[in-house]
Structure 1
């Protein structure tokens, strides 16, 4: 079962991370949180674990209008928010991978038609952001 949408681009780490933020903003998503998994591994597990992982950032992306609709329909949906977007690059990789949660995962956990509508909207927006990145990588 796939629970992410994924694109791999021939961009360096810093550029891929910046363009991911911009692509998400272009679809109405703000970044509520950033988790630098590499830095956490280095602090908690040592430099070797961080090096083995490579660059790895989890962006907690939120579109406030969509979040409001989801929480109004089903308050428990807060456990699934924000939409996580991963930007990662292995230590020897020549490309950077960007993955966004598939919002249809929410639909599998709820019978609410309103949640389905929100998931469809979020899905369209996240896919559009990834498509923007796909195009940026080819430039």
Structure 2
């Protein structure tokens, strides 16, 4: 299975454990030059703050420094849309599946209307797609 791209996301579904999906996603992003700057465990946060139970749901703030630098040089406000969020979450409809979803970088171009960001968004999209597609080649 390969990625699916919608207006907002590049995504795929894995049939594996949540922890394995997180580990594989981190490795795949790293191979494409992305570091993880932030990590938000939505499940733990909502449980601790609101007493709300939900499925495993982790937001990874992924950054490729050369791409971020190029984007910020074009539009200083682009930092509002950085880093690229990647979500690893258990499918609430099918407990054996884990969804991996990355923000579609083309959203940056759409939101800002800045055509100079197109080449940055295209390269980021290519790298995120490669990372997500590689998740299916990884077996553990």
Q: SS at 1:134's partner residue?
A: coil
Partner residue in 2 for 1:33: 38
CA distance in 1, matches of 2:76, 2:49: 34
Question: Which is helix-richer, 1 or 2?
Answer: 1
> How do 1:1-139 and structure 2 match up within 5 A?
2-46=7-51, 49-50=52-53, 53-90=54-91, 93-136=95-138
- Change over 3 Å in CA distance of 1:36–1:113 after alignment to 2: same
| Equivalenced residues, count | 134
| Alpha carbons 2:7, 2:107 under 8 Å: kept | no
Unpaired runs of at least 5, structure 2: 1-5
Shift of 1:17: 0.2
CA distance in 2, matches of 1:60, 1:3: 16
CA distance in 2, matches of 1:90, 1:97: 6
TM-score by length of 2: 0.90
C-alpha RMSD of matched pairs (Å):
1.5
Q: SS at 1:136's partner residue?
A: coil
Shift of 1:111: 3.5
- Change over 3 Å in CA distance of 1:68–1:84 after alignment to 2: same
